[in-house]
């Protein structure tokens, strides 16, 4: 039974649009819908704006078909639906940093067909971040974004403002790492659902408020006693996933989700920036250095050993691939990553996600997977 420690994060998540509207009314600042976690939100914060990540609603919809193909991944279609349905009518701008081609076209449709958005900006971040030219290219693109925001707001984004924003975001990353590190413990006192609430709300709540709430939780969780069985220790792997109902179901049948490799979780906050005299370089290179998603992980697959390292560090007993249907980058990675984990003793389960997910059938799949992990060796 919950003790209410994570209730603020839960409320923020469930009422995220209300939060953004209230923030705008309180501060008079602009709200920016951000698509993809590669967006250099430090610049938006330095400009006095609130970055609000576009999340899906996990509801049936029929409004995207005239705009993008039905074989685009569910997250693309769900994200665009939120714009077309007016869920982000409070957003002044929308921005995307290059990730996959499907989401690029989703962004293009958003900025063409969502009339409430006043401005838009596309950051063409190199996908081949391992190239010796990528860092210089991304540095120049972040500088261009800085100039755009200065022109838009009439407010100079000085190095001092950028450094202050970077410190706020880096503090958030460190606090989330501290929270997630508690899940390494036997019988962790932070559940996977609670960790998801904390990490996903960091992507649309004012970082200053989020940092203060994280500090309160970290101070209290050290003496917490959830009094719940740990069960099997799972990790989740995939792209964006904030399907709380699915996560809660997994943790209701004899398991605890102890870590993830997803952009709704660890990939968003895992690394802080490195000290640099040039603050724009510190911001830009941090995004090049972050744990890669499949769109930015070639020719060398650095992600495979990173995921295996997480599994070992967190004592994972099984990994669940949460595959967005038609997600080409993750589908391309899946066979080799599955083989890499299983060769190193981590059993895996593959589930294909859509805009809405069949919790009942998925529960049967999870329970069957749990049985294979707990059955005794007979021979």
Q: pLDDT tens per residue, the chain (379 residues)?
A: 568 999 999 999 999 999 999 999 999 999 999 999 999 999 999 999 999 999 988 888 889 999 999 889 999 999 999 999 999 999 999 999 998 999 999 999 999 999 999 999 999 999 999 998 999 999 999 999 999 999 999 999 999 999 999 999 999 999 999 999 999 999 999 999 999 999 999 999 999 999 999 999 999 998 999 989 999 999 999 988 889 999 999 999 999 999 999 999 999 999 999 999 999 999 999 999 999 999 999 899 999 999 999 999 999 999 999 999 999 999 999 999 999 999 999 999 999 999 889 999 999 999 999 999 987 544 4
Gyration radius of the chain over CA positions: 20
Q: Which residues 6+ apart lie within 8 Å of 378 measured at CB?
A: none
- Give whole-number Cα distances, 248 to 93, 253, 361, in Å: 33, 9, 15
CA distance 36 to 96: 6
In this prediction the pTM is 0.96
pLDDT of the residue at 379:
43
Neighbour tally for 101: CB within 10 Å: 13
> Is residue 262 within 8 Å of 241, Cβ to Cβ?
yes
């Amino acid at each position: 039974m919950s003790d209410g420690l994570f209730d603020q994060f839960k409320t923020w998540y469930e009422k995220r649009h209300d939060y953004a509207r209230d923030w705008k009314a309180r501060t008079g600042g602009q709200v920016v819908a951000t698509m993809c976690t590669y967006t250099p939100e430090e610049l938006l914060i330095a400009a006095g704006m609130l970055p609000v990540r576009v999340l899906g609603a996990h509801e049936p919809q029929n409004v995207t078909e005239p705009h993008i193909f039905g074989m685009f991944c569910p997250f693309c279609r769900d994200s665009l639906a939120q714009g077309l349905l007016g869920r982000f009518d409070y957003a002044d701008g929308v921005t995307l940093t290059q990730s996959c081609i499907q989401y690029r076209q989703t962004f293009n449709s958003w900025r063409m067909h969502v009339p409430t958005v006043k401005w838009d900006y596309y950051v063409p971040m190199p996908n081949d971040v391992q190239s010796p030219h990528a860092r210089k290219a991304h540095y120049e693109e972040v500088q261009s974004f800085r100039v755009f925001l200065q022109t838009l707001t009439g407010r100079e984004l000085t190095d001092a403002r950028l450094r202050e924003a970077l410190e706020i975001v880096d503090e958030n990353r460190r606090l989330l790492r501290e929270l997630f590190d508690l899940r390494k413990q036997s019988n962790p006192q932070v559940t996977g659902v609670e960790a998801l609430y904390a990490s996903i709300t960091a992507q649309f709540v004012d970082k200053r408020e989020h940092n203060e709430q994280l500090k309160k939780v970290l101070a209290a969780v050290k003496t917490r006693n959830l009094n719940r069985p740990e069960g099997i220790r799972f990790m989740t792997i995939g792209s964006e996933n904030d399907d709380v109902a699915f996560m809660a179901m997994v943790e209701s049948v004899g398991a605890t989700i102890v870590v993830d490799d997803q952009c709704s979780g660890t990939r968003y906050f895992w690394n802080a920036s490195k000290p640099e005299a040039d603050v724009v370089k510190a911001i830009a290179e941090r995004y090049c250095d972050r744990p890669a998603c499949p769109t930015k992980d070639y020719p060398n697959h650095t992600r495979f050993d990173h995921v295996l390292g997480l599994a070992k560090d967190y004592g994972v007993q099984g990994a669940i691939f949460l595959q967005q249907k038609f997600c080409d980058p993750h589908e391309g990675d899946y066979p080799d990553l599955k083989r890499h984990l299983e060769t190193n003793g981590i059993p895996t389960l593959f589930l294909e996600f859509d805009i809405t997910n069949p919790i009942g059938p998925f529960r049967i799949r999870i329970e069957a997977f749990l049985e294979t992990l707990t059955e005794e060796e007979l021979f």
